[in-house]
Amino acid sequence: MSGQADHADAPGRQNGEAQISLPLQEAVRIPAGPVTLAGDLEVPAGGTGVVLFAHGSGSSRHSPRNRFVGRVLREAGNGTLLFDLLTREEEAADALSGHLRFNIGFLADRLVAATQWLSLHPVASRFPVGYFGSSTGGAAALAAAAALGPRIEAVVSRGGRPDLAMEALPRVTAATLLIVGERDKVVLELNRRAFERIKGEKDLAIVPGATHLFEEPGTLEQVARSAARWFQRHWKRIPGGRQAV
């Protein structure tokens, strides 16, 4: 699958409407300006929304932590799209220069491009959309949510750097959950400052005993389950005309 042309001829469309066929599991290619980004799209049977992941610097869609969180989200009924924010060539260049990892506007644009691609998918386009961001990906998720307004219904940031998107925070309309480790002192203070800038529905969850990477036993599971509850609680529309609980 490689962008919009694939969707035009994709099975599952009848009389211009997408037929929901779940579970869905696809390796996808997402057009983003002059490049194409690799991703993995999964929506479980009975899925109620799709969460796009924005990984942190030096990571990818293969991040074991995000893979774990993604599995927990799917078990709770959420679809997931894990994709690479950078191409292999960009990753190699950034490893030497570091010019992209903190370029939040650039990363947010990539997330917006993936969201636009998802809106054309013959099946996944029927679902509400949320973001899960880690580290600098948390800032990118919030900046993209500010740009897209009500199209994004919920955002969860894990050990994120929302301070890198300070100017965008007052424009975020999505319900936002900031999750930070208790022992991640510097990032916790940055999140507290950023939290005050968010005007919409929000919460700040501090995970006891956790450091930045949530490597302590049980802490990443706590993050994943909190995120799953947040998304399930804030989906406003789900396929079939039902309202999310």
What predicted TM-score, i.e. pTM, was given to this entire model? Answer: 0.88
- Domain at 54, CATH number: 3.40.50.1820
Is residue 40 included in any domain, yes or no? yes
Is residue 116 included in any domain, yes or no? yes
State the chain's mean pLDDT as an integer. Answer: 89
What digits encode the pLDDT tens for the residues 130-173?
Answer: 999 999 999 999 999 999 999 999 999 999 999 999 999 999 99
Q: Determine which helix (DSSP H) or strand (DSSP E) holds 52, and give its type and residue range.
A: strand 49-54
CA 83, 121, 114, 239 dihedral sign is negative
Domain assignment of residue 76, given as a range: 4-8+36-237
**Number of domains into which the chain is organized:** 1
Q: How many Å apart are CA 154 and CA 129, to the nearest integer?
A: 7
CA 130, 140, 41, 36 dihedral sign is positive
Is residue 194 included in any domain, yes or no? yes
Is residue 111 included in any domain, yes or no? yes
Nearest to 169 by CA among 193, 188, 187: 193
Instruction: Please give the full DSSP string across 143-160, using - where no structure is assigned.
Output: HHHHHHGGGEEEEEEES-
What digits encode the pLDDT tens for the residues 185-210?
Answer: 999 999 999 999 999 999 999 999 99
Residue with the two structure tokens 């490049």: 35
Q: How many Å apart are CA 156 and CA 150, to the nearest integer?
A: 15
Amino acid at residue number 129: V
Is residue 23 included in any domain, yes or no? no
Backbone φ and ψ of 130, nearest 5°: -135, 170
Q: What percent of the chain has pLDDT over 70?
A: 87
